[in-house]
Structure 1
Amino acid sequence: MKRCLSCEHAHESADTTCPACGHTPRCIDGVVTYAPDHALGADGFKPEYFSHLSKLEPANFWFRARNRLILWAMKKYCVQPHSFLEIGCGTGYVLSAIVQQNPDTVATGSELFVDGLNIAAQRVPSATFVQMDARSIPYVEEFDVVGAFDVIEHIKDDELVLAQIYQALGDSGRLILTVPQHKRLWSQADVYACHQRRYSAKELHRKVRAAGFKIERTTSFVTTLMPAMFASRQFGKKQSADRFDSTKELDIPSWLNSIFYLMLSFEIVLIRLGVNFPIGGTRLLVARKQ
């Protein structure tokens, strides 16, 4: 069901206009916007980054490996979902892979910034896209699966976001999360990305359970690259914000990119076999609505 953010009425109408109060969300660049004040940029984030990111994702080792891990988790823990919502879908790179793997799933992508949605819509023409603030999701018991991939660390009120996701999921719906880990890895890369935090497993688990979820799987990822990450981030701490190059960790030599991808592919094999890594640059979590 849709939830009117003006009067809180829940309705099953296909129309975005609320049948109770008549409120209709604005459209910007052809996109329905539920948080129009943020649609064109806010909170220091640079919407123009989406265009550059969309060119790097398909070849970059981390994005490719993370996609493989997400697709595996969804196939194992979310059997034949009818509906899927991605929060913070960015350029649509993850959503496009999910739609290819699950062609019968009704897919919706959401993002705070319209700039990202314009790119995502070109990548995944079969999906529906909406602009929204994850702290106020305009759906109630609507989706079988909700994914947020390296998103909630950007939001100060992450516990509110988790509560909103819980509300948007149907009975026994699944949540799939990835987040950056370990406060000791904090650097200018996090500042540039407008991160609010890097998580510990304990903090993430506590917040997910407090929202009402039961955790079904949780493991670190990017474990084998921790030494390289630590060295890179320590060097980054010495750089001033105006000299920091946000693309350096993504745009690396092809031979190194291939080696890193093989290392992460090995981690995925072990995770699929049941290994849960205690440390790693990223954490994957799958949880079920109770």
Structure 2
Amino acid sequence: MSEKKVWIPTPRFMLRKSVLKTILKEDFVKGKKCLEIGYGAGEILKLVLEKGGVAYGVELSKDAEALTKERLSNYLKEKRLFLLNSFEDALNYADFDILMAFEVLEHIENDEIEFANWVNLLKSGGFIILSVPSNMSKWSISDEWAGHYRRYERKDIVRLCDKFDLTLIKIISYGFPLTEITDRLMNVVIAKKMKKIDKNITKEELSKNSGVDRNSSLIFRFLFNDFFMFPFYLLQRLFFSTDLGTGYVVVAQKNKN
């Protein structure tokens, strides 16, 4: 019998997911055709499915794909979840009501071309929901380990939306103040990992690993759960309109023809 795959979310992921829960509500998602680019372990696909959406996903990492198939096997059997083999396959299912991409755009060298491709998959009036790491001043070894090309400023998001005919609905800065501590701790852990990594590894290979490489120790599970994190879910809301967080969650709508 094969060993069951384990995935434990990071604090940063949990803080981001708490924001997405306020956006991906049942009245917004139910019955909608939703595509996620780079679904990782499938946790947000699961949220969409729980709220009544029909979910499609594209993922380059075979490890991530295998993990999601294991975690969401029931939805695959029910024909409510469709895991596609490539971005090109997604073209066969356009137009989507909602397109999602979380911590993906920063992994792409020419982000404008990719962003334009995403917008083209949306129906007129459809929504794009994405997250990106914020503020180049926060660049660290964690960005190198994850295969990032950049972090984003608020003005970068505004520029992309203006250029590709999107109405920007909201930009939420999430994570502060907890990620000020956890990111520094993660940098120490990742610095040790980086010493063991092949110096010639490409950004693409680093990107594929970053979505599923998680600490599964008992201490990690004990500290970072919804019970422990709940006060921080509430606290970060005080800073949503600032630029203090570790990343942005963005909601925009494709302008109707």
The secondary structure found in structure 1 opposite 2:48 is helix
The secondary structure found in structure 2 opposite 1:220 is strand
Aligned to 1:262: 230
CA deviation string 1:217-276 (max 9, x = no partner): 1110001125325644775797683158x87888664564358723431146558xxx52
Kept in 1: contact 2:96–2:121 (CA 8 A): yes
Distance 1:151 1:186, change over 3 A: same
CA deviation string 1:52-79 (max 9, x = no partner): 7x5212xx43333322221211228935
C-alpha distance in structure 1 between counterparts of 2:190 and 2:60, whole Å? 29
C-alpha distance in structure 2 between counterparts of 1:71 and 1:119, whole Å? 22
CA deviation string 1:183-220 (max 9, x = no partner): 12222221111111111111122123212211101110
C-alpha distance in structure 2 between counterparts of 1:151 and 1:132, whole Å? 15
Kept in 2: contact 1:89–1:111 (CA 8 A): yes
Kept in 2: contact 1:107–1:128 (CA 8 A): yes
1:128 to 71, 76, 82: 82
Range that drifts further, 202-211 or 75-84: 75-84
Kept in 2: contact 1:229–1:281 (CA 8 A): no
C-alpha distance in structure 2 between counterparts of 1:69 and 1:226, whole Å? 14
C-alpha distance in structure 1 between counterparts of 2:193 and 2:22, whole Å? 39
Identity of aligned residues (%): 24
Which structure has the higher relative contact order (CA within 8 Å, separation 6+)? 2
CA deviation string 1:81-104 (max 9, x = no partner): 5200000011212211221122xx
Aligned to 1:56: 8
Kept in 1: contact 2:26–2:51 (CA 8 A): no
Kept in 1: contact 2:99–2:129 (CA 8 A): yes
Structure 1 unaligned blocks of 5 or more: 1-50
Structure 2 unaligned blocks of 5 or more: 198-209
Higher-Rg structure is 1
TM-score for the superposition, normalised by structure 1: 0.67
TM-score for the superposition, normalised by structure 2: 0.75
Aligned to 1:287: 252
Distance 1:123 1:186, change over 3 A: same
Kept in 1: contact 2:41–2:68 (CA 8 A): yes
2:45 to 69, 84, 95: 95
C-alpha distance in structure 2 between counterparts of 1:183 and 1:138, whole Å? 33
Would you identify which runs of 4 or more consecutive aligned residues in structure 1 move more than 6 Å?
A: 236-240, 246-250
Aligned to 1:191: 144
The secondary structure found in structure 2 opposite 1:70 is helix
Aligned residues: 230
C-alpha distance in structure 1 between counterparts of 2:235 and 2:25, whole Å? 18
Query: What are the equivalent positions in structure 2 for 1:199-238 lying under 5 Å apart?
Result: 199-229=152-182, 231-232=184-185
Kept in 2: contact 1:187–1:233 (CA 8 A): no
| Cα shift at 1:176 | 0.5
C-alpha distance in structure 1 between counterparts of 2:97 and 2:69, whole Å? 22
The secondary structure found in structure 2 opposite 1:286 is strand
C-alpha distance in structure 1 between counterparts of 2:63 and 2:192, whole Å? 29
